[in-house]
Chain A
Amino acid sequence: MIRLLGMLASVAKKEVRQTVRDKRMMMLLIVAPLIQLFVFGNAVNLDVDHVPTVIVDQDLSHESRQHVARLLADGTLEEIARTHDTEAAEHMLVTGDAAVVLVIPPGFGDDVARRRTARVQAILDGSDPNRANVAAAAIATYFAGESQRVQRERGVALASTQGFAAHIPDVVVDSRVLFNPTLDTAVYMVPGVAAMLLLLITTIVTAMGLAREREVGTLEQILVTPVPAAMLIFGKVLPFAIVGLIDFGIALVVGSTVFDMPLHGSMPLLICATLLYLMTTLGIGLLISTYSSSQQQAFLGGFLFMLPAALLSGIMTPIRSMPSWLQPFTMLNPLRHYAEILRASLLRGAGLTDLITPMSILAVMGAVIFTYASLRFRAVTMK
């Protein structure tokens, strides 16, 4: 037993030596995650604002100018041009310079002043549905509010001419946002990005590390020694599990200091979940290596797994908005469960009892993948 542990330790030590000596590897393990965390945290922004808008004001009245100025004031829409030519404005939609064309037809100010129904037209570029929805909603909300105000004023005026005070009933929605009161996307994204980074690092590095031993020929020399395959595998993945934990720590520090991400959950729970998750990602890396005869193949295999895993994780897009036949498949995605745990725990302070389901799924998944991959590794190496 002591002898086995000694073998395990020396494989791990050798792995650390090689990794530390490999500058590119160190970049990939420590520096790249930092950069990605910053880039993703800032760039992956689901808040829609500054939608480029062309104003076609054919009315040129005091009213039209005033309404446009008030509509633009909240920053959702941003005026990039003002023209009288509808065709030129529509062409800007085609080129992508503009996403919204707002047309104020002639007589708009007149209609408002004479208390007639006034019309404005919004032409939207629907190629980004989310942005189009937000822009349409912003315009509709503004003018609905205006209509309501006008109606209210008229109601009050009418009542006073009749000689009584007006009581116009209304329902007011008082919403309060918990956990992320400023609705900041970065706070929501950082735990997801951290989960993806761990996957990237541990899966691809493990797959490539084992593929390298095979490719270079060192695996043969190891296999003629009495070291059992299990010790070899554990020794090789152990350092990267530790690197994974370190990167997890970095993500938490960057998330909380740079992006004001709250750290509500209990640390032991988070570390435990991270270890379970790492078992699945390292197992997948090991599995990929058994299908690869070179480092290149392992690298490509890693990406082949990463892309669908990231897309079907619920990190970028909610799982509920995926097609219903696709949704059950996301249950097989360790990234989904881990991202769920991270968000629930970090942002909402969920505890073990709340997270027992995703935790158990990760544990079972990790054990199955790791065992299967180890068995396959042994079968493939012994030709």
Chain B
Amino acid sequence: MSAVVIEDLHRDYAEVHAVRGVSLAIEPGELYGLVGPDGAGKSTTIGCLAGLMHPTSGSVRILGEDPMGRRSTAREHLGLMPQEYSLYGDLTIAENLWFFGQLFGLKKKVFMERRERLLGITRLGRFEDRRADALSGGMYKKLALSCALLHQPQVLLLDEPTNGVDPVSRRELWALIYEFVADGMAVLLSTPYMDEASRCHRVGLMHEGHIIAEGAPGDLTDGLEHEVAEVIGGDRATLHGFLEGRDELVAASPAGERLRVIIKPGGSATLDAALAPLGASLRRVPPDFEDLFLARVAA
């Protein structure tokens, strides 16, 4: 049985259609990334999965159960780390852990064991008497993650876990997440950073309430029919004006000293020829996730 199943999920807020028909499934031990810009509908999808809001239509299932159901035990198996601050700033690390442990109804012995383990792997043990509002962004996220993991959920939902976290802490967070995935946890995380997509087992590219591409990160970029290239030589200002009018082009953006261009399928030969008089030429580069996103959005 899949750990998470979403079928044709729609969710509207008054006039806004935040999610417009999302379907996906996540298996135990899988790390699934919902990648997309702000406003794509990632948080709404997670909110529906966590049982915090009702779907307008469609269904969500956690281990086969509706998280909104009255007799549902889905919450016992679900961990959520919301995007915004969600812990008590005026309580210490230890007190926050204690409080959420209590809400999950953990027995004292079990709680103490898990607490020690989580404080150990997050290396927060030294700071357990520090108030949560006195923690750095990275430490705070690690504490929030610990609170969401106390009851050892089978499904973990992480809404933009790396947002506002420094690069060192970000690496640590990823290492932690991998550890739990390896233990068989199903993890769904959202991120606006395209470069983080490649860290997931499977990715759903989200845009305006739809999943516009889904698959293993490598397969997705390999399967891109568009061509991606850097423009070598020529005067940059002239090139920019010239490229703007070309039909072959999907997008052009500065990449270091050069221009990086995404070209419609089969358009590179003509573009290359057109560039020659300007003293410039194309050099193919492997597409990355941002290219994939831009190409898909343009389509």
Of the candidate stretches A14-22, A53-61, A236-244, the one touching chain B is A14-22
A216 / chain B contacts, CB cutoff of 8 Å: 85-86, 89
The answer to whether A218 and B102 have CB atoms under 8 Å apart is no
Segment 69-116 of B: residues with Cβ below 8 Å from A? 73, 75-76, 78-80, 82, 84-91, 95, 98-100, 102-105
Instruction: Return the chain A residue nearest B50 by Cβ.
Output: A224
Is residue B147 contacting chain A, with contact meaning CB distance below 8 A?
A: yes
9 A-B residue pairs with CB within 8 Å = A6-B105, A10-B103, A14-B91, A217-B85, A220-B52, A221-B148, A224-B52, A227-B103, A383-B53
Query: Which B90-146 residues have C-beta < 8 A from chain A?
Result: 90-91, 95, 98-100, 102-105, 144
Nearest to B86 among chain A residues (CB) is: A221
Whether B68 contacts A10 by the Cβ 8 Å rule is no
> Are B54 and A383 closer than 8 Å at their CB atoms?
yes
- Bound form: Cα–Cα A225–B51 in Å: 10
Min CB distance B132 to A, Å, is: 10
Contact status B75-A224, CB under 8 Å: yes
Number of residues on chain A facing chain B (CB within 8 A): 24
Could you tell me if A18 and B91 are in contact, using CB atoms closer than 8 angstroms? yes
Please determine whether A382 and B105 come into contact, CB atoms closer than 8 angstroms.
Answer: no
Task: List 4 tightest A-B contacts by C-beta distance, closest first.
Answer: A10-B102, A221-B86, A225-B103, A383-B53
CA distance A125 to B203 in the complex (A): 82
Cβ contacts under 8 Å, A328 to chain B: none
Chain B CB within 8 A of A223 CB: yes
| A120 interfacial contact with B, CB 8 Å | no
The answer to whether B103 and A222 touch across the interface, beta carbons within 8 angstroms, is yes
The smallest C-beta distance from B56 to any residue of chain A, in angstroms, reads 11
Interface string of B147-160 (1 = CB under 8 A from A): 11000000000000
- Are A226 and B103 CB-contacts (below 8 A) given A17-B95, A221-B80, A382-B54? yes
Task: Tell me the minimal C-beta distance from B98 to chain A in angstroms.
Answer: 8
B87 touches A382 (CB 8 A): no
Chain B nearest CB, measured from A238 CB (Å): 15
Contact between chains at A21 and B90 (CB < 8 Å): yes
Interface residues on B, range: 20 to 34
Q: Which residues of A contact B144 (CB under 8 A)?
A: 221
Nearest-CB distance from A19 to chain B (Å)?
10
Closest CB in chain B relative to A282 CB, distance in Å: 21
| Chain A contacts for B52, CB-based, 8 A | 220, 223-224, 382-383
Q: Which residues of B contact A (CB under 8 A)?
A: 47, 50-54, 68, 73, 75-76, 78-80, 82, 84-91, 95, 98-100, 102-105, 144, 147-148
- Determine if B53 and A382 form an interchain contact, defined as CB atoms under 8 angstroms apart: yes
Residues of A within 8 A of B75 (CB): 224-226
Interface residue A7 (Cβ < 8 Å from any Cβ of B): yes
Closest Cβ of chain A to B87, distance in Å, is: 7
Q: Judge whether A226 and B80 touch: CB under 8 Å.
A: no
* Known contacts A216-B85, A217-B86; A224/B80 CB under 8 A: yes
Within 8 A of B (CB), among A9-29: 9-11, 14, 17-18, 21-22
Bound-complex Cα distance A210 to B226 (A)? 52
11 additional A-B pairs beyond A9-B102, A18-B88, A226-B76, beta carbons within 8 Å, are A14-B91, A216-B89, A218-B87, A221-B82, A221-B86, A224-B51, A224-B52, A225-B100, A225-B103, A226-B104, A382-B54
Measured between C-beta atoms, what is the minimum distance from A120 to chain B in Å? 68
B172 to chain A minimum Cβ distance, whole angstroms, is 21
A221 touches B100 (CB 8 A): yes
Rounded to whole angstroms, the CA-CA distance of A227 and B51 in the bound complex is 13
Q: Are B103 and A218 in contact (CB under 8 A)?
A: no
Q: Is A176 an interface residue (CB 8 A)?
A: no
When A3-B105, A218-B86 are in contact, do A14 and B76 touch as well, CB less than 8 Å? no
| Cα–Cα distance between A6 and B104 once the two chains are bound (Å) | 10
Are A220 and B86 in contact (CB-based, < 8 A)?
Answer: yes
Interface-centre pick from A9, A10, A226, A227 (highest chain B CB count, 10 A): A226
Distance A220 CA – B80 CA, assembled complex (angstroms): 9
How far apart are B190's CB and chain A's nearest CB, in angstroms?
Answer: 15
Shortest Cβ distance from residue B160 to the other chain A in the assembled complex, whole angstroms:
13
**Roughly how many angstroms separate A140 CA and B70 CA in the complex, as a whole number?**
74
Q: What chain B residues lie within 8 Å of A227 (beta carbons)?
A: 103
Are A221 and B87 neighbours in the complex by a CB distance under 8 Å?
Answer: yes
**Residues of chain A within 8 A of B79, CB atoms compared:** 224
- B102 engages A6 (CB within 8 Å): yes
Residue of A nearest to B104 (CB): A225
